[in-house]
Amino acid sequence: PEAGGEEGGKPKATTRAGLLYCERFVELLVDLLSQLPTRRFTRVLLEDSALLVKVQHAALLNHPSGALFAQLVDLLAFYMNFEIDDHTGEPLSDEEVSFRHSERITQLQRLCFKHIETLRELAMYNCGQVADKAFLAKELARLTPD
């Protein structure tokens, strides 16, 4: 959701109604994620759609009237990454959090190896190195837009 889109290369003016819509939408998602009965379904849907990544890159975050939206996006990120089992409501142990993180890194490596010829080498690095933001950014910079 983004109140200010692009039209002819220039950002559209953010309307008050569009801003309110975006804020209320993110607020609804935070409410759904903060309650265990709806969290288990909502979180899967949001992860699949990569919505958090999309709203974290929305132009509205840097807009002067987007301060509340930015706070709500931070809250959404907090609840998306909250260390709790979605089905039982039990807090995750440090080992479980570490295991899930490693699984996501390994999944990325498999996808790169299988589908992206220029990133096959990424699958050969250890999880700790791939998890490093600077290293991953350098490797991903090798990609071409096609």
Share above pLDDT 90 across residues of the chain, in percent, rounded to a whole number: 84
pLDDT at residue 7, as a whole number: 47
Domain ranges within the chain, ordered by starting residue:
1-91, 93-146
pLDDT at residue 144, as a whole number: 85
Q: Residue range 56-68: average pLDDT?
A: 94
Quick one: how far is CA 79 from the chain centroid?
A: 11
Q: Which residue has the tokens 């910079």?
A: 141
Cα distance between residue 137 and residue 131, in whole Å = 10
| Local confidence band at 27 (pLDDT 50, 70, 90 cut-offs) | very high
Cα distance between residue 80 and residue 74, in whole Å = 10
- Tens-digit pLDDT profile for residues 72-125: 999 999 999 999 999 899 999 999 999 999 999 999 999 999 999 999 999 999
Q: Residue range 26-42: average pLDDT?
A: 96
